Amino acid sequence: MAAPEPARRGREREDESEDESEILEESPCGRWQKRREQVNQGNMPGIQSTFLAMDTEEGVEVVWNELHFTDRKAFKAHEEKIQTMFEQLVLVDHPNIVKLHKYWLDTPESKARVIFITEYVSSGSLKQFLKKTKKNHKAMNARAWKRWCTQILSALSFLHSCNPPIIHGNLTSDTIFIQHNGLIKIGSVWHRVFSNAIPDDLRSPIRIEREEQRNLHFFPPEYGQVADGTAVDIFSFGMCALEMAVLEIQSNGDTRVTEEAIARARHSLSDPNMREFILSCLVLDPACRPSAHNLLFHRVLFEVHSLKLLAAHCFIQHQYLMPENVVEEKTKVIDLNLVMAEIHRTGRPRVQWRYSEVSFLELDKFLEDVRNGIYPLMNFAASRPLGLPRVLAPPPEDARKAKTPTPEPFDVETRKVVQMQCNMEMNEDRAQWHLTLLLVLEDKLHRQLSYDLLPTDSSKDLATELVHYGFIHEDDCEKLAAFLESTFHKYRSAPP
């Protein structure tokens, strides 16, 4: 007798789920585990396959990307150049850019592979989000539009200020991703870098042409010319901003979006500031387009006062000195009738703001958004050049070596510490101090470390060693050293 149809379908779905979670391959160190399930994150052109994978150290899902080369001899001739490119790409770190975590080479007898691990953004592309919003007959929220534009421009400003500038060259609503908390992540960042770095005799796996007819309208007239530059990305951003505002630019069944459809979308914008902002990005002369940095200060976007933004970032950087619910605790002891700020005006009444006029819930939400990277700190420097020199690092993982259970040597920690707790107690023989350090990272993960202190150990040496072994970000070294020093003084000076 045949099994009932619903039961059989349920078992089939379970079998499919088990197949997708099956581990197909591991990195030589055992940290990254490739699964059968394929994903499309639009991270780089020319990638033959992208799989969902697990980072067993952090317990998060990542993307396992593979680039295949059929001519191993030609690949070996350019291996050093390809390694240099990936070493540079791993350096680039921005909250609104899909992160490239690690890479290694696999060169068996006849073929070659470059395998690299990138961040996984599970909520899908901006294009998918806009389609769902329109399907539900909802209009675009102006505040969300501003926050998305600010984050995209922050990433572009970062890339364009590198030395030399990094041109995205493939910015569309399909290569922009959105997380559940509203954080925007740009993928496919290395389109231009990746294509240019592959020598001519290895270009067979690289798709340089724009294959998606429906996305041709994102590219300006000068695209692909020798002289094109960062203005290419500004035009593409303008098209993304227009699509975000109207949810979809109708193609009316055509294979590509027409100029008439773009004109209709522009004319449908009711906000004159928004219209002027988008049109300034879409001018045909690339020399007349504004820079990403200047667009961040446009009146349609610049809504958070610089002092408020700077104060929030300072607060987040030093949050390890404060309890997690510091805003809630402070509101309990503050007299709401007290004057918080005052402006003296000659010949006119002064203006006062009292604590009762402040929404503490809104303040908590703003701090959480700053912590998540939604309001990046980009307004205090005209340019922030990021050099991308050849990295003096040990060679990448060798896939021909047997896998070992030891972790990868000295991974650089990219997450910042948001809270620190430290405790010291004497060992049973009361001859040595035992240190326990709890670190809360910005992604809410906890890291607990313990150590038997030696008489010669200094707080600075311990903090430097934690950076060296990849336990903390190098930017946190000084404040951890200061925190440890205060802890040493507190416990060692206390009476026995």
* Most confidently modeled range among 55-59, 341-345, 449-453, 487-491: 55-59
Question: Distance between CA 173 and CA 63 in Å, rounded?
Answer: 20
Structure tokens at 109: 């007898």
CA atoms within 13 A on the CB side of 232: 24
Angle, alpha carbons 467-472-473 (nearest 5°): 85
Question: Distance between CA 366 and CA 311 in Å, rounded?
Answer: 11
Final residue in a domain of this structure, among 50, 84, 119:
119
431 or 392: which leads in pLDDT: 431
Residue 131 shares a structural domain with residue 222: yes
Instruction: Yes or no: say if 63 and 51 are a contact pair by the CB < 8 Å rule.
Output: yes
Q: In which band, very low, low, confident or very high, does the pLDDT at 332 lie, cut at 50, 70 and 90?
A: confident
Residue 285 belongs to some domain of the structure: yes
Residue 290 shares a structural domain with residue 208: yes
Backbone angles phi, psi at 441, to 5 degrees: -85, 165
How confident is the model at residue 228, as a pLDDT? 74
Q: Which residues contact 77 (CB under 8 A, 6 or more apart)?
A: none
Residue 274 shares a structural domain with residue 143: yes
Residue 323 shares a structural domain with residue 425: no
Q: Is the pTM of this model over 0.75?
A: no
Residue 72 shares a structural domain with residue 131: no
Residue 344 shares a structural domain with residue 421: no
Q: In which band, very low, low, confident or very high, does the pLDDT at 56 lie, cut at 50, 70 and 90?
A: very high
Residue 15 belongs to some domain of the structure: no
Residue 294 belongs to some domain of the structure: yes
Residue 30 shares a structural domain with residue 83: yes
**Mean pLDDT to the nearest integer, 356-360:** 78
Residue 153 belongs to some domain of the structure: yes
Give the DSSP H/E element, type plus range, for residue 397.
Answer: strand 397-398
The CATH number that applies at residue 484 is: 3.10.20.90
Q: In which band, very low, low, confident or very high, does the pLDDT at 236 lie, cut at 50, 70 and 90?
A: very high
54-57 — which CB contacts under 8 Å span 24+ positions?
Answer: 55/31, 55/101, 55/117, 56/30, 56/31, 56/32, 57/31, 57/407
How confident is the model at residue 401, as a pLDDT? 39
Residue 458 belongs to some domain of the structure: yes
Structure tokens at 207: 């798709």
Residue 216 shares a structural domain with residue 295: yes
In this structure, is the dihedral angle defined by the CA atoms of residues 175, 181, 182 and 183, taken in order, positive or negative? Answer: negative
The CATH number that applies at residue 154 is: 1.10.510.10
Residue 426 belongs to some domain of the structure: yes
Residue 311 belongs to some domain of the structure: yes
Final residue in a domain of this structure, among 316, 344, 372:
372
Residue 10 belongs to some domain of the structure: no
Residue 170 shares a structural domain with residue 138: yes
> How many domains are contained in the chain?
4
Final residue in a domain of this structure, among 119, 136, 152:
119
Residue 197 shares a structural domain with residue 278: yes
Q: Which residues span the domain enclosing 449?
A: 417-493
For the cut 60, the answer to whether the pLDDT of residue 212 exceeds it is no
Instruction: Yes or no: say if 455 and 431 are a contact pair by the CB < 8 Å rule.
Output: no
Mean pLDDT of the chain: 79
Structure tokens at 418: 């948001």
Radius of gyration of the chain (CA): 26
Residue 271 shares a structural domain with residue 166: yes
**Mean pLDDT to the nearest integer, 442-446:** 71
Residue 230 shares a structural domain with residue 136: yes
